Amino acid sequence: MLQLHSCSCRGAFTAKSFRTSPAFFSARGRNLKSPLGVGRTIRGCCGFDGDLYSDGEQEPVLVNRTNYAGVRLEETVDTGSGKLRLDSWISSRINGISRARVQSSIRAGLVHVNGRAVHKVSFNVKTGDKINCTISELQQLRAEPEHMELDIVYEDEHLLVINKPAHMVVHPAPGNASGTLVNGILHHCNLPNVEIPNKEALSEAEDSDDDFDIYSICSSSSEGLLPHSSTCGASVRPGIVHRLDKGTSGLLVVAKDEHSHKHLSEQFKLRTIKRVYVSLTIGVPSPTAGRVEVPVGRDPNNRIRMTAVAGSINSRKARYAASRYKVSEILAKGACALLEWKLETGRTHQIRAHSKYLGVPLLGDEVYGGTKSMALSLLQPRTPTSLRGKIVQMVSQLDRPCLHALTLGFRHPHTGDQLHFTCQPPADFKEILSQLQTIGCERLSSFS
């Protein structure tokens, strides 16, 4: 049986309060590619310039880009069916670019339809319209220290372990410039304001999940969170080592110096970090324990969603991903289940994508099929009449996937001591778990 108990840690340290010198968090943008499409002209200030056709006169060019600034699209619309929003159409023609980035370019007056500037992102285009678009420069994102209550499970002069609440974004991104974990850490550690080069990386505003590969320490101050203060030491660069999805609660480790960041990142890379998550799923997976080894890549039909892609792990659009799962409780007479997950890799939305692949999406995960209607269709026939009203109300109020980072274990980057932390799920998770247990509960064994 899975034991859910209060936050705890095992190790040689006693948690104390420390402060660190001014420093910055760093992030590496994704290695983006721009497949250039059919019957159009796309020009960029660096990397490509040419007319591309579908008849083989010139092969499409793939160019690595971390910044789409200055890219120009000149094309005649051929929607094939009726009207389409201008921002959606442009986003579909420049692979990998975010719609928010396109919308910024439209509002800046950099998009012309039939020779006239259009500032309305929802403007409808139709077949035959001639589009001329230039992608705008990225604007710096400024992160300022903000006082907030951080649930610090452990802290020393080298690192922090934080119990992140659901709905808190880890780092600033377009649409989430304040109220993030980074803002709180800047205040907690007495760090200055910082500016973040706004690269085309997956945004926490887009509900991005735990993915340690996204973050790395930069060798110079030309990237990452750039402090306004010149007192920042070149060797002192604390940062986010991994991240949790906005809707995911639970344990997160933050490095305070470059040495700690490097060594913790290496542990993630070598897969020696112990991470256990718990989730509530709609339905019960069969078998009740197993290992999912299915690559995860971006869903071509929805850029904020990932998908488990069966096939070659060498695919350009999918990355190797492996998760172990085990059902610890069958709930509500089989309508739901409490699962434990052990991650071998940390791909974006990995648990959510693998859970959907198993046919049991996370309860409350509307993006990945864990809809309220699906949950209620299984729960209502199994729920006693006296409890149905409460179950309907509870499911209707779900506003996040039921996923929690329960356990985090790693070797301390400076002392070498093994640290282990466990923190129970928050009240919303425990409340719905309790209600499901009331309908019915069959306990199985959990991970040892």
Q: What is the pLDDT of residues 414-436, one digit of tens each?
A: 999 999 999 999 999 999 999 99
Residue 2 domain flag = no
Whether residue 426 is preceded by a cis peptide bond, meaning omega within 30 degrees of 0, is no
Q: What is the pLDDT of residue 14?
A: 38
From 267, 283, 310, the end of a domain falls on 267
Same domain (yes/no): 263, 281: no
pLDDT at position 270 over 50: yes
Instruction: State the pLDDT confidence band at 375, using cuts at 50, 70 and 90.
Output: very high
Residue 70: what pLDDT? 85
Q: Is residue 74 part of a domain?
A: yes
Query: Where in the sequence is the domain holding 390, given as residue range(s)?
Result: 275-443
* Range with the poorest average pLDDT among 11-15, 41-45, 214-218: 214-218
Quickly list H helices, 169-244: 181-188
Q: What is the pTM of this model?
A: 0.70
Complete DSSP assignment for 50-83? EEE-TTSSS-----EES--TT-EEEEE---SSS-
More confident site: 81 or 219: 81
Per-residue pLDDT at 336 exceeds 80? yes
Which tens digits make up the pLDDT trace of 73-122?
999 998 776 778 999 899 888 877 777 789 889 999 999 999 999 999 99
Q: For residue 340, give the nearest of 446, 210, 443 by alpha carbon.
A: 446
Maximum pairwise Cα distance, the chain: 70
Among candidate residues 134, 157, 188, the one where a domain is terminated: 134
Token couple for 352: 């959510």
- Considering the domain architecture, whether residues 206 and 171 belong to the same structural domain is answered as yes
For residue 94, the 8-state DSSP code is B
Do 414 and 338 belong to one domain? yes
Question: Which CATH number belongs to the domain containing residue 290 in this structure?
Answer: 3.30.2350.10
Which residues neighbour 131 within 8 Å (Cβ) at sequence distance 6 or greater? 73, 74, 75, 76, 77, 86, 89, 90, 111, 112, 113, 125
| The pLDDT value given to residue 256 | 87
Asked whether residue 58 is assigned to any structural domain, the reply reads yes
> What pLDDT is stored for residue 173 in this prediction?
73
Residue whose token pair is 């992030």: 27
Among 34-48, 168-182, 217-231, 265-279, the range scoring the smallest mean pLDDT is 217-231
- What is the structure's pLDDT at 175? 66
Same domain? 239 vs 294: no
CATH of residue 74: 3.10.290.10
Of the candidates 207, 210, 211, 245, the residue annotated as catalytic is 245
User: Are both 307 and 353 inside the same structural domain?
Assistant: yes
Pair 94, 203 in one domain: no
- Label the pairing between strands 289-293 and 441-443: unpaired
Question: By C-alpha distance, which of 125, 111, 122, 46 is closest to 82?
Answer: 125
Tokens of 205: 């505003």
Q: How confident is the model at residue 172 (pLDDT cuts 50, 70, 90)?
A: confident
pLDDT greater than 90 at residue 141: no
**Do the beta carbons of residue 88 and residue 82 sit within 8 Å?**
no
Task: Please indicate, yes or no, whether residues 439 and 297 belong to a single structural domain of this protein.
Answer: yes
In a domain, 5, yes or no: no
125 and 158 belong to one structural domain:
no
Q: Could you tell me the two tokens for 167?
A: 């709905």
Is the residue at 345 inside a domain? yes
More confidently predicted of 264 and 59: 264
Q: Based on the structure, what is the number of domains in the chain?
A: 3
Secondary structure letter of residue 46 according to DSSP: S
Q: Based on the fold, state whether residues 307 and 419 are members of the same structural domain.
A: yes
Judge if 84 and 220 occupy the same domain. no
SS3 letters across 326-349 = EEEEEEHHHCEEEEEEEECCCCCC
241 falls in which pLDDT band (50, 70, 90)? confident
Is the domain of 164 the same as that of 115?
no
Instruction: Report pLDDT for 357.
Output: 96
Per-residue model confidence (pLDDT) at position 139: 67
What is the pLDDT at residue 125? 93
72-76/8-10 β-pairing = unpaired
In the predicted structure, residue 300 carries a pLDDT above the cut 60: yes
Question: Is residue 4 domain-resident?
Answer: no
Mean pLDDT for 143-156 is 92
C-alpha torsion sign, points 11, 241, 188, 191: positive
Cβ-contact 202, 348 below 8 angstroms? yes
The structure tokens 């190797």 sit at 320
In a domain, 139, yes or no: no
pLDDT above 70: residue 214: no
State percent of the chain over pLDDT 90.
50
Q: 437 and 378: one domain?
A: yes
Q: What pLDDT is stored for residue 312 in this prediction?
A: 58
- Of 134, 154, 176, which one is at a domain's C-terminal end? 134
- Of residues 386 and 171, the one with the higher pLDDT is 386
pLDDT at position 376 over 60: yes
Active site residue 51: no
Examine residue 13 and state whether it is found in any structural domain, yes or no: no
Contact 4, 446 (CB under 8 A): no
Average pLDDT of the chain is 77
Is pLDDT of 37 > 90? no
pLDDT at 31: 33
Is residue 197 very low, low, confident or very high in pLDDT (cuts 50, 70, 90)? low
Query: Which of 379, 334, 346, 363 is CA-nearest to residue 429?
Result: 363
- Return the percentage of the chain with pLDDT > 70, whole number: 72
pLDDT score for 261:
87
